[in-house]
Amino acid sequence: MFRTTSDILKGLGVVRPTLLVDEGRARANLSRMQARALRSGVGFRPHFKTHQSPGIARWFAAAGVDRITVSSVPMAEQFADVGWRDITLAFLLNPGELPAIAWLARHLEGKGGRLGVTVDSVEAARALAAVGGLPAAAWLKIDTGYGRTGVPWNDAGGLRAVAAALPAGPVGLLTHAGHSYRARSAADLQALWAGTRERLEAARGSLQDPRLLLSVGDTPTCSIVEDLRGVDEIRPGNFIYYDLMQLAIGSCGPGDLAAAAACPVVGRYPGRREIVIHGGAVHLSKESLPGRGGGTVFGRLGTLTPDGRLGEIIDGAVIVALSQEHGIVRFGPEIAFPDAAELGIGDPVLVWPVHSCLTADLLRHTLILPRGD
């Protein structure tokens, strides 16, 4: 169960925690999401915070993607540097970053592109206005129920005040329905999608401007809802890799998981039915999920296929604890404890992360599978 995977990873030279990205699966995830947007007649502005990789960004460009979302100014700068021209910064405007934002907006305009920024307060809108002549598209952030940021969708006075304070008014209304991460069924997600769309339309109604664009973005709803009509663009990000959390939500199947970590075994404890891997909080992040029979899951072991692609989840091989550099993997009664011939000290195992965005952010060293392209 472990030998083939370890041998392939050793053959690839893995000796430290390393991100593995399955190019075939990731490109299939991309095609599927893009096709859904196309069929629904909505724009596709994928969020690049998940991969943060100029190399993987080229797969999007090759598929015809010409507009993207990012979550920080440095991330916007990074992708502008490699030629992306139409970038929405879907993170609330921080006035302290306005010098960098102004430079970037002018740089993108000079390339025939455009920077989008996001505000949810009169104060931020005024700070933007104070720059004067900034060539940026301002999106008004709407809280459609997640409760993190945004003007509440039904706060008509608040919406009008922020819109009025924007230099050229908002270009549209932008929301992130992050409460979709609490959903655990397709029916939940369908209902959440319908509610999000209705709330955005109600907010647009309050502003009495039917030209306002509607932008939504979260992987769970965009993965489950076939017909995305009623909005102007979608901004999912995690779908390029998916992860155990998306699997728990129901956004993807196990065969869609496109990113994993390779982590060498450094300790074997048959008496406890545990191994310890080099793969801790600084590699995988401390994001967790509740375990099926109680306890906490920080990741699960998996396999590579014999031809070196990402394979399956191994039931009963769970990361139950993480410290800074260590992960403890516990084997359930359903599988034999691997003997040393199958999994020795130094052999890399494959780990499915709970939250691929955080794991990819931490693991800078990435292998694209299969190797050779």
Point out which residues bind its own copies (CB under 8 A).
10, 14-16, 49, 71-74, 91-97, 120-121, 123-124, 127, 147-150, 152, 178, 264, 266-268, 271-272, 276, 278, 281-282, 285-288, 321, 323-326, 328, 340, 344-346, 348, 357-358, 361
Least distance (Å) between residue 345 CB and its own copies: 5
Nearer to its own copies by Cβ, of 40 and 264: the residue is 264
Nearer to its own copies by Cβ, of 71 and 215: the residue is 71
Beta-bridge partner residues of 269: 274
**DSSP-derived 3-state class of residue 84:** coil
Least distance (Å) between residue 278 CB and its own copies: 6
Tokens 């104060």 belong to which residue?
Answer: 123
**Cβ atoms 228, 36 nearer than 8 A:** yes
Structure tokens at 224: 């489950």
Nearer to its own copies by Cβ, of 46 and 150: the residue is 150
Least distance (Å) between residue 71 CB and its own copies: 5
Nearer to its own copies by Cβ, of 186 and 367: the residue is 367
**DSSP-assigned letter for residue 47:** B
Least distance (Å) between residue 35 CB and its own copies: 26
What is the rounded CA–CA span in Å between residue 373 and residue 370? 8
**DSSP-assigned letter for residue 65:** -
Least distance (Å) between residue 211 CB and its own copies: 26
Torsion angle (degrees, nearest 10) of CA 218, 220, 221, 227: 110
Least distance (Å) between residue 258 CB and its own copies: 18
Q: What is the CA radius of gyration of the chain?
A: 22
Nearer to its own copies by Cβ, of 96 and 290: the residue is 96
Taking each helix axis from N to C terminus, what angle separates 73-81 and 98-110, rounded to the nearest 10 degrees? 30
26: left (phi over 0), alpha (psi -120 to 50) or beta: alpha
Nearer to its own copies by Cβ, of 55 and 99: the residue is 99
**DSSP-assigned letter for residue 72:** S
Q: Output phi, psi for 239, to 5 deg.
A: -55, -25
Closest to 293 in 3D by CA, of 333, 352, 350: 333
**Cβ atoms 266, 349 nearer than 8 A:** no
- Residue 218 half-sphere exposure, CB side, CA atoms within 13 Å? 23
Nearer to its own copies by Cβ, of 3 and 272: the residue is 272
Least distance (Å) between residue 124 CB and its own copies: 5
Least distance (Å) between residue 75 CB and its own copies: 9
Nearer to its own copies by Cβ, of 178 and 230: the residue is 178
Least distance (Å) between residue 48 CB and its own copies: 12
Structural element, H or E, at residue 206: helix 186-207
What is the rounded CA–CA span in Å between residue 86 and residue 105? 10
Nearer to its own copies by Cβ, of 1 and 92: the residue is 92
Residue 187: partners with Cβ closer than 8 Å, 6 or more residues away: none
